Amino acid sequence: MSRIFAISDIHVDYAANMNRVLGLSSFDFVDDLLIVAGDVSDSLTRLERVFSALKSKFAEVVFVPGNHELWIRNDEFPSSIEKFFAVLECCDNQGIHYKPVQFGSKNGVWIVPLFSWYRSDPDDLNTLFMAKEGEDNRRFRWGDDRFCRWPEEIRPPADWFSERNRKTVCRIYENPVLSVSHVLPRRELLFHDVDFARRFSDGTGMLPLHPKDPHPYFNFSRVAGCGMLERDIRRLGSRMHVYGHQHRNRNRLIAGIQYVSHCLGNLKEQARKPKTDLEPLCIWNQGTWLEWDDRIDR
């Protein structure tokens, strides 16, 4: 029996997360495919270790780099672009897919990875940015600002990554497509509450300050995603899109496409989840797709 599983943001820099990944069954998934939607580690050594372990447990593994993979902690790479290509070389060496691959029978699913980066400029038509009450971006240090290095000619980075997807998006896929990115493709996915999502989906409202917001000065929508991804997902005719980055689980149907996020996250986030949410999520089983549970704009 062949199945497709998904997970993201496994952050194996936490020893407990590494142990959880290494501890996955070596027998239960031998005929299955696993999608890892980014943010494994900024360490190539740990990335190689995880890839090797997952390849021993799953028949196939598909991966898209997240923002953490492009962090540079020292002078090992001159820029995050060189780090990106080193990550892809690591995939090649370990037999990890980052290009379109068909899985299952001759009528099986096409898994189509899309490279991505977020768009931060509030005036960018493809940003997911929404103003937030009380935000002060100077008072919150975002890791990418410290650890990512971009050549001057590659600004914004989202354009460069989008260009890498051009041939992939222009291909014809005769069977169902399941696309994958790290960052979010739509504003609605920022919100857990569906009615709240409808209210702010057009970007005309202001995000209210939640009394339990752990980071009241930080506005995640600045670094959430890129609307150009949505364009490419629609061109592909995706049946389902898997993503990560936000550390929030989603399962939502929007205008005919099912958007799924299943993140492991950090230890505090895991403590709030049921144990079943800490394992890869089965999203396809011999032609049967995961059912959505949060309906919007069907």
The model's pLDDT over 136-190, given as tens digits with 9 standing for 90+, comes to 777 667 899 999 999 999 989 999 999 999 999 999 998 999 999 999 999 999 9
Q: What range does the domain containing 113 cover?
A: 3-295
Evaluate if residue 73 carries a pLDDT over 70: yes
Nearest-CA neighbor of 262 among 64, 15, 14, 36? Answer: 36
Query: Residue 247 maps to which CATH number?
Result: 3.60.21.10
d(CA 95, CA 100): 13
Contacts of 257 (CB under 8 A, 6+ apart): 233, 234, 238, 239, 240, 241
d(CA 100, CA 3): 17
Q: What percent of the chain has pLDDT over 70?
A: 96
Is the overall model pTM greater than 0.85, yes or no?
Answer: yes
d(CA 246, CA 262): 10
Cβ neighbours of 193 (radius 10 Å): 9
Four-residue CA torsion sign, 125, 129, 131, 135: negative
Alpha helices in the chain (DSSP H): 15-22, 44-57, 80-94, 143-147, 157-164, 166-170, 194-200, 227-236, 267-271
Structurally, the chain folds into a number of domains equal to 1
CA 64-70-71 angle, to 5 degrees, is 145
**With bands split at pLDDT 50, 70 and 90, how would you rate the model's confidence at 19?**
very high
